Amino acid sequence: MTNFLAYDDVTDLNALIQEGLNAKQNPFADQSLGHNKTIGLIFFNSSLRTRMSTQKAAQNLGMNVIMMNVGQDSWGLEMEEGTVMNGDKAEHVKEAAAVVGKYCDIVAVRAFAGLQDREQDYREVVLNQFRKYAGVPLINLESATRHPLQSLADCITIEEFKVRKRPKIVLTWLPHFKPLPQAVANSFSEWMNHMDAEFVIANPEGYDLAPEFVGNARVMHNQNEAFEGADFIYGKNWSSYQQYGQVLTQDPSWMVTMDKMRLTDNGKFMHCLPVRRNMKVTDEVLDSPQSIVIEQAANREWSAQAVLKGVLQGL
């Protein structure tokens, strides 16, 4: 594996899931692989799970880890080419990415969507500038349009908890008052299109994801109908793609409740976290045995380790 930016960088999904499960069974089996190798974790946005799980995975593989919060620990970075840098950005990504690439064998970047300009966000400017200038393998820690380390952890979790070969998996939109990126939902949909599953997306009118991410999923605008007989409910809020970055509704009837979960076939509730309780999903659901959000978050470590192992093997 050279880069890990999207599903397209995966050659064999089942093998990668198995690699994650192997790492979970035996975390230190490949500790010599990363000896004297350094990963730089570059964050433009906040994180709990991605930051800690990627650091832990790298350490399990014997790597050194350098972490940096752009704009707090470093200079603010200019992304546009040919611009007159007379604003608040003191360094250009051309130099910054190239320098980071000299200190690190692998670079990993988190940079969310700005949600102001759809064309710019979907061009993945930050990720592509790092890919262009870092000169070393690049890992996506959640970009404007995708969160593939989360999606791999989700696949590992589904593999662990599924009770039938071809489960019914429902990605459902949840209410939120703030505009949130589409990255997690896009990415989950992209990966579920490659799983052996009946995959359904439930969202209100105006919240359909970009067609390239929906793929072959069945899109439904009635959440209760979508939940019927489901094995997994994957909750997430996202802002509108069509009316880009807008909050079109906060309809509380889309919150996941125990009554909704009773429509499923003893389905499991998943969410990438962080989650706002009693706005997106009730305490009762999150605190019930049907919730597997903690197991899902724990699998972020094994997802990151499987990917880092693949990238280290390619160095």
Enumerate binding residues for ligand CP (CB under 6 A). Answer: 47-50, 142, 150, 272-274
Burial of 208 (0-12, 13-18, 19+ CB in 10 A): middle
Using CB atoms, what's the residue nearest to ligand CP?
50
User: Which residue, 9 or 142, is less far from ligand CP as judged by CB?
Assistant: 142
Smallest distance from the beta carbon of 301 to ligand CP, in angstroms? 12
CA distance readout (Å), 200 to 81, 171, 225: 40, 6, 11
At 69, is the secondary structure helix, strand, or coil? strand
Q: Is 155 annotated as a binding residue?
A: no
- 175 annotated to a ligand binding site: no
What's the min distance (Å) between Cβ of 112 and ligand CP?
Answer: 9
State both tokens at 195. Answer: 């799983």
Question: In angstroms, what is the minimal distance from the CB of 273 to ligand CP?
Answer: 5
User: Rounded to an integer, what distance in angstroms lies between the CA atom of residue 111 and that of residue 143?
Assistant: 5
Give whichever of 52 and 220 is closer to ligand CP, judged by the CB atom.
Answer: 52
If you ran DSSP here, which 8-state letter would residue 169 be given? E
The residue (of 37 and 236) whose beta carbon lies closer to ligand CP is: 236
Amino acid at 243: Q
Give the bridge partners for 314, in sequence order: none
Amino acid at 246: Q
Burial class (CB in 10 A: 0-12, 13-18, 19+), 274: exposed
What's the rounded Cα separation, in Å, for the pair 114 and 231?
A: 34
Report in angstroms how near the CB of residue 16 gets to ligand CP at its nearest. Answer: 18
Beta carbon of residue 184, minimum distance to ligand CP (angstroms, whole number): 7
Query: Could you tell me the smallest distance in angstroms from the CB atom of residue 111 to ligand CP?
Result: 12
Minimal distance, residue 266 CB to ligand CP, in Å: 25
* 147 annotated to bind ligand: yes
In the bound complex, what is the minimum distance in angstroms from residue 92's beta carbon to ligand CP?
27
Sheet-wide strand order for 138-140: 64-69, 38-43, 106-110, 138-140
310, 3 Cβ separation under 8 angstroms? no
* 77 labelled binding-site residue: no
53 or 240, CB closer to ligand CP? 53
Q: Between 55 and 60, whose beta carbon lies closer to ligand CP?
A: 55
Query: Phi, psi (5° rounding) for residue 205?
Result: -55, 140
Instruction: Specify the residue, 151 or 264, whose C-beta has the smaller distance to ligand CP.
Output: 151
What is the four-CA torsion angle of 7, 302, 292, 113, rounded to 10 degrees? Answer: -40
Nearer to ligand CP, 226 or 270 (CB): 270
- Residue 104 marked ligand-binding: no
**51 annotated ligand-binding residue:** no
Alpha carbon 191 to its chain centroid, in Å, reads 11
Alpha carbons 76 and 17: distance in angstroms, whole number: 37
Q: Tell whether residue 148 is among the known ligand binding residues.
A: yes
Compare residues 3 and 55 and give the one whose CB is closer to ligand CP.
Answer: 55
Closest CA to 187 of 222, 160, 155, 159: 155
194 known ligand binder: no
Q: Does 149 show up as a binding residue in the annotation?
A: yes
> Which tokens hold the place of 81?
């080419």
Is 141 labelled a binding residue? no
| Residue ranges of the binding site | 47-50, 75, 110, 142, 147-150, 176, 236, 272-273, 276, 300
| Residue ranges of the binding site for carbamoyl phosphate | 47-50, 75, 110, 147-150, 272-273, 300
